[in-house]
Amino acid sequence: MDLVKNAIRDTPIRAALGMGAALGMGAAPCATPRAARPLARRRGGGYRGGMRKKQRAAIAEQRIERPDLGLPPGSPVYIGDRKPTDMVLSVIGYDPIGSWTKSAVTVDELLGYRNTGGVNWINVNGLKDAQAISRLAQAYGIHMLTVEDILNTEHRPKVEEFDDYIYFTLKAISWKEALQPEAGETGGVEYEQISVVLTGDTVITFQEEAGDSFDPIRRRIDANLGRIRKMGPDYLAYGIVDSIVDSYFLVLERLGTELELFETRAIEETGRAFMRELQAIKQEVLRMRRAIWPLRESIGALVRMETELISGELAPFLKDLHDNVVQAAETMESYRELTAGILEVNLSSVSNRMNEVMKVLTIISTIFIPLTFIVGVYGMNFRFMPELESRWGYPLAWGVMAVIAGAMVAFFKKRKWM
């Protein structure tokens, strides 16, 4: 993951610089040295990732109506753009001596597994059972407004401090590969809201569905690797957020690959299909920016937060996490500028091609102006025109027109107009 971060940090963005030079534009305005993008290429056609039109229509059909309208604040109602999945509960307990993992069917069963002498990590997959989530929140003294935020998956990233816990939410971003590429299916970016609650001895994570990027953390707990079992729940919460942020760089790398491909296509392709694909990736970039950019403020607030729930030992780790988020946000901003630059280069390419066509048509029209004049003069059919009676008049007229046309072509080539 550090290699990916360094590649994104150190590789200079050319940002359509070569294309701008090829078009006589000089350096493209979107070039920026602050962030970078990977230069690997993906085989196949252009960007068809993100949300295709049919996929968006399918999601629109599945969108849940806002059932919270008119309800009092703190009502536990699920709100999201996907159907909620059944809840699956699990808990991991550990201390410096050992660790264990349990699964539970009900919240009461889960609460019976709590490790009072160490750290507990409760993971909730699926937000369908709002009442069970409320029961779990009640057991840990979590405010009902926080429960409402957990169940609303359309929240922007934020951090909130309460008396007995800290709540923060952010977006997990991943790249989904195409399951059937031979059928025209393409991959794209997927988003999932992750909510984290940090208490005195427990970390509770809420996910929309099963499947996450936390397996390395689970393996470190199980094998007692690193410092995770020697530190408190605040370090576990940091590790969870850091794992999510690390996954951003994998998606940014893939997105950079797509943009690199668009750079090479911007000059050659001028059709509507290219513009549609470029618009799709532009919308994806903007959506990712909305997910990553507010996280800078959230992590910054976490760094400045003075609370007993976060130990002083965690300060350098939080600062490093904040630096990573800033790097991801700046890379996202450079991608946004890059898409605008690619659009400008493509429009310039289209304009240049049109100018080339108009230049050819203008040259042809200019050559035919004197020829049309000669033909017009001798096509007036006056009775007394000596040239009409000449035996060599017809071939002489053709010869004069050929000489004039050839001279004009030679003049245009000398001036490098054609």
Domain residue ranges of the chain, discontinuous segments joined by +? 2-350, 351-414
| Cα→Cα distances 260→2, 46, 170, Å | 22, 10, 28
Q: How far apart are CA 371 and CA 408, in angstroms?
A: 11
Q: What DSSP letter does each residue of 161-197 carry, written as one string?
A: E-SS-EEEEEEEEEEEPPS-GGGT---EEEEEEEEEE
pLDDT tens digits, residue range 22-32? Answer: 434 443 333 33
**Average pLDDT score over the chain:** 81
Pairing mode, if any, of strands 166-176 and 202-207?
unpaired
- pLDDT for 2: 54
Q: Residue 272 pLDDT more than 90?
A: no
Confidence (pLDDT) at 154: 87
Q: At which residue do the structure tokens 């919270």 appear?
A: 68
Residue scoring higher pLDDT (266 or 367):
367
Q: In whole angstroms, what is the distance from residue 386 CA to residue 417 CA? A: 38
CATH ID of 351-414, from 3.40.50, 1.20.58, 2.30.30, 1.20.1070: 1.20.58
- High-pLDDT (> 90) share of the chain, %: 36
Lowest pLDDT segment from 89-93, 120-124, 191-195, 412-416: 412-416
Asked if residue 83 lies in contact with residue 127, where contact means CB atoms within 8 angstroms, the answer is no
- The model's pLDDT over 373-389, given as tens digits with 9 standing for 90+, comes to 888 888 887 777 777 77
Comparing 37-51, 99-113, 124-138, 364-378, the range with the smallest average pLDDT is 37-51
| Length of the chain counted residue by residue | 418
Judged by average pLDDT, the poorest of 13-17, 61-65, 241-245, 407-411 is 13-17
Q: Which CATH number applies to 2-350?
A: 3.30.460.20
As a whole number, mean pLDDT of residues 140-157 equals 91
- Residue 34 in this model has a pLDDT that exceeds 70: no
Average pLDDT over residues 128-143: 92
Residue 182 banded pLDDT, cuts 50, 70, 90: low
pLDDT of 241 above 60: yes
Q: What integer pLDDT is reported at residue 144 of this predicted model?
A: 92
